[in-house]
Structure 1
Amino acid sequence: MRNIPIPVDTSRLAITCVKAPQPRIRDRQTGEIKVDKNGQTVYEITTSTEDAFGRIELVKIAVAGEPPVGVGQRIFPVNLVGYVWEIAGRWGISYRADSIISAETAQVGAKSRD
């Protein structure tokens, strides 16, 4: 299966951190931590993601480097993409962002561009 990134439009989503960022484990048996191609630790953030219709899902988002966000904080994933995966007949979508910033920081940045 070819792994093509699918861009996610986050403009109509309310995303809240519900579990503190933690290093992603590459191998559970050895405890090896996943790193990106630049050697940065990949962190995983568990979020509550609500769409415009009020539907809520728990979504895990991976990001390189420890993001400066905490539990209960509204966040904005920069350049969020989804990757479809399939293993042994099971499939799903994994999500990755270039960075994660607080929603407050994103709003301040948007106002300064106006």
Structure 2
Amino acid sequence: MRLIPVDTTGALVMVAQEPRPKLKDRRTGEMAMDTETGAPLMTLDVTFVANGQAEILSLTVPQPGLPEGLVPGTLVALTKLIARPWENEFNGQKRTGIAFRAEAVTATMPALVGAKG
């Protein structure tokens, strides 16, 4: 399995959607767990701005690596962000993508809710 470290130096990373449980099985609601630590896994959507481009990334993060109170607009730092290419086939359709995972997320500045310019 190929793991690619992602350099976040100079990137602006902001919470786009509050963390939510990562599901292993959507039909049963079973949560995904970290295979090494047994910790529940969470999904966190962030806006990642670097080199003049912005993208929404869905990150997988172990629950102990997420601080309380992450809300949209919170600026964050990502610890050990990696990208992992994936592919699967379902009903004859080949799908590919990139999965992102961070070891931890740290709030660097709270969200500016209701701020006026």
Hey, which of these two has a bigger chunk of helix by percent?
1
TM above 0.5, yes or no, is: yes
RMSD: 1.5
Q: Does 1:71 align with 2:72?
A: yes
Alpha-carbon distance, 1:70 to partner: 2.2
Count of aligned pairs: 102
Are residue 81 (structure 1) and residue 82 (structure 2) matched? yes
Secondary structure at the residue paired with 1:9?
A: coil
Aligned-partner Cα distance in 2 for 1:11–1:95: 16
Question: What's the secondary structure of 2:33's corresponding residue?
Answer: coil
SS at structure 2 position matched to 1:103: strand
What fraction of aligned residue pairs are identical, expressed as a percent?
A: 26
After TM superposition, what 4+ stretches of structure 1 lie above 3 angstroms from structure 2?
none
What secondary structure does 1:30 align onto?
Answer: coil
Whole-Å separation in 1 of the counterparts to 2:11 and 2:88: 29
Structure-2-length-normalised TM-score = 0.81
Alignment of 1:12-91 (within 5 A): 12-37=10-35, 38-53=37-52, 55-66=53-64, 67-68=66-67, 69-88=70-89, 89-91=94-96
**Structure number with higher strand proportion:** 2
| Structure 2 residue ranges without an equivalent (≥5) | 110-117
1:97 aligns with 2:95: no
- Normalized against structure 1, the TM-score is what? 0.83
Alignment deviations for residues 2-47 of structure 1 (CA, whole Å, 9 cap, x no partner):
x211000001211100100011011011110001022211011001
